[in-house]
Amino acid sequence: MAEHNSALGLATALRPVQPVTLVRPHAAHRAARFFVEKFPGRSIYAVKANPSPDLLQILWDSGITHYDVASIGEVRLVSRTLPDATMCFMHPVKAEEAIEEAYFTHGVRTFSLDTMEELQKILRATRNAEDLTLCVRLRVSSDLSKLSLAAKFGAEPEETRDLLFAARQAADALGICFHVGSQAMSPDAYANAIEVVRAAIVDASVTVDVVDVGGGFPSWYPDMEPPALERYFDTIHRAFESLPISYSAELWAEPGRALCAEYSSLIVRVEKRRGTELYINDGAYGALFDAAHIGWRFPVKRLREVPTVAPFEAFSFYGPTCDDIDHMAGPFLLPADIQTGDYIEIGMLGAYGSAMRTGFNGFGSDETHIVEDEPMQSLYIEEAEPTAPEERKVVSLDEHRRQAGQ
């Protein structure tokens, strides 16, 4: 694959018909180092956010040694990609066969649960193993997050005493975990959840070895500008230190979005303009699932050689499939003179973009290039300023692998 000096150069030279994914290994490395160095505990990457083997390797090389897996497919992926990684099977409802394979074939020793039924399932599948870390998931509020995860999983307060006591008897190490929801916009989400943990520990009178605050750590999107991540870390650390637990208890977190959102973006082409509606060649069944189905707004930028003098206007997108729901309402702010044939870069798609992509209607593309510019916005750079399109240097993914000796 040919090299290009910039994203603009790529669009100009190749005039790609299909969407093109741009990845930024340095951004993923920076995010990983931030968590490794500043989070006051162990950071466990949530593979569901982006299961790219290339990304998994970048995170491993950057110091992330533990991985939150939610299915036997993710267990197998991490096992073959990072044979020395430690995996934590944190989905609270698992097939018994998946637990058995994870334990006996892949060396998984950490499992989450939120019911007595799941506890018994884990014990049967592992043949009453004596080296298990069992994390009881509590139901907590998602009120301070953009996406709720409060309805499906988590033991209720009236269930936790017996469940924690039973898990304590079966486990080598007992943990308590929770999830405050995706894109938590306030550190108080974690402080409030840790108060639920406190009440559960006091009520059950058990010794807890692990407190796992789950995911929810945010990234930057239009109209979603969270506080600095250090504020989240400080709040979590203070709340954790105040819990009635032993001095040797461990603090865990499961960042997903925060580690990979800045990793990639997408170049799409405008195939048609109808007023303020732009028909583009990726959409709800591709990398823009969240933009269509939950109204997520992503930063956008037109890639054109001649800088625009036109004012910005609010646009919506239609994707390439035949389905009416393949629609992204936005609004996405772009120059008012945008037209058919123009290319648009859509940023912050490292989290859940490629992970949600399908081949519905025969559309889609896995063409990927590495770029060395900065993401459109970053929580890891002070006073980050987006780089002008003409300043970007682009390298093909194949070339990057050759340079790395992979």
* Catalytic residue ranges: 322
Instruction: Give dist(CA 120, CA 166) in Å, integer.
Output: 10
DSSP E strands in 104-172: the ranges are 110-113, 133-137, 145-147
Give the pair of three-digit tokens for residue 282: 């990726």
Contacts of 93 (CB under 8 A, 6+ apart): 118, 153
Number of other CB atoms surrounding residue 243 within 10 Å: 18
List the one residue out of 350, 363, 377, 223 whose CA is nearest residue 296: 223
Residue with tokens 């499939």: 321
- Using a 10 angstrom Cβ sphere, with 0-12 exposed, 13-18 middle and 19 or more buried, the burial of residue 198 is middle
Task: Look at the alpha carbons of 203, 204, 207, 210 in this order and tell me if their dihedral is positive or negative.
Answer: negative
Number of other CB atoms surrounding residue 295 within 10 Å: 11
3-state secondary structure of 169: helix
Q: Using alpha carbons only, what angle is made at residue 359 by residues 355 and 364, rounded to the nearest 5 degrees? A: 85
Residue 210 bridge partners (DSSP): 175, 250
